[in-house]
Amino acid sequence: MKHKWWKNFFEKKFAVLFLKRNKLELKETINFLIKKLRLKRGDMVFDQCSGTGDISLGLAAKGMETIGIEQSKKYMDAAAKEVSRQKLSSKFYTGDAYKFICKPKCDAAINWYTSFGYNKNDNANIQMINRVYDSLRDRGYFALDYHNAPFIFKNFKSKRVQKTTLAGKTVLVTKTSKIDLPNGMLISIWQYKYHGYQSRKLYGQTRLYQPIDLKTILLKSGFVNIKFYGDLRGGRLTTDSKRCIVVAQKPTTEQ
């Protein structure tokens, strides 16, 4: 395993190419979260591994207060500029999601778009979920958006090629993947070929947690009332679902 590979992987170009959701998807995501997390105006939402902050900003535009944590300073700087431009109630911090705890505690939390499971060591991954639990008020809800391992196994392709544009230049992105079954890892090499520039390769990996594994992890962290969804419409999770969305609740802990 490449130690802390994500520090190099999530560069500015990746955000432009892959982290910009279209307006319809973002709207559906915001609506799903408001409904399933029982959000109301004025609630505080913790966005763990917030990327460029589009979900946090979208929730803030609906009247929530949001706190985003992300290891990429460039992503957080870009998000902060949007906060100023849109005059929203959002705060973004550059930090370590394995350690960061919100203070004061929040009403709800999210970890979206497979920002979890980067470590082969399960105990290390669970630390991130524990930090969400610690950041929530009693009876607060948490939504985890993860890839659906059964779908990956069913539709696995070792090579995918995508052509797109960046600043008017053609970019050819080749993703070569393999499944490391003994360690339960999906390992990918992303090669970027920019028009007029030298090609670039980046390494990434995530655990192939089955839905039952995610349930076990959430229960171990203390969550209850765990529910699974296969899409942003709240559909049932099946082997044909591309995403595995889990919603759980922190119980009452005070006696």
pLDDT in tens, 218-250: 999 999 999 999 999 999 999 999 999 999 999
Distance, CA of 206 to chain centre: 12
Tokens of 196: 């007029």
pLDDT in tens, 60-106: 999 999 999 988 787 788 778 888 888 888 888 989 999 999 999 99
pTM of the complete model: 0.91
pLDDT at residue 162 greater than cutoff 90: no
Residue 114 CA, chain-centre distance (Å), reads: 4
| Domain ranges, ordered by start, for the chain | 6-147+210-249, 152-205
For residue 157, the tally of other CB atoms under 10 A from its CB is 9
Q: What is the pLDDT of residue 1?
A: 44
CB proximity list for 38: less than 8 A, separation 6 or greater? 108, 141
Tell me what the mean pLDDT of segment 31-41 comes to: 97
pLDDT above 70 for 16 = no
Query: Distances from the Cα of 65 to the Cαs of 44, 57, 85, 98, 140, in angstroms?
Result: 5, 9, 16, 22, 15
Is there a contact between 223 and 250 (Cβ–Cβ < 8 Å)? yes
Cα–Cα dist 131/101, whole Å: 6
Q: Tell me which residue of 128, 125, 124 sits closest to 96, measured CA to CA.
A: 128
Superfamily grouping for domain 6-147+210-249: Vaccinia Virus protein VP39 (3.40.50.150)
Average pLDDT over residues 194-203: 74
Give yes or no for residue 15 having a pLDDT over 60. Answer: no
pLDDT at 196: 62
Q: Mean pLDDT throughout 49-66?
A: 91
d(Cα 248, Cα 226) in Å, to the nearest integer?
4
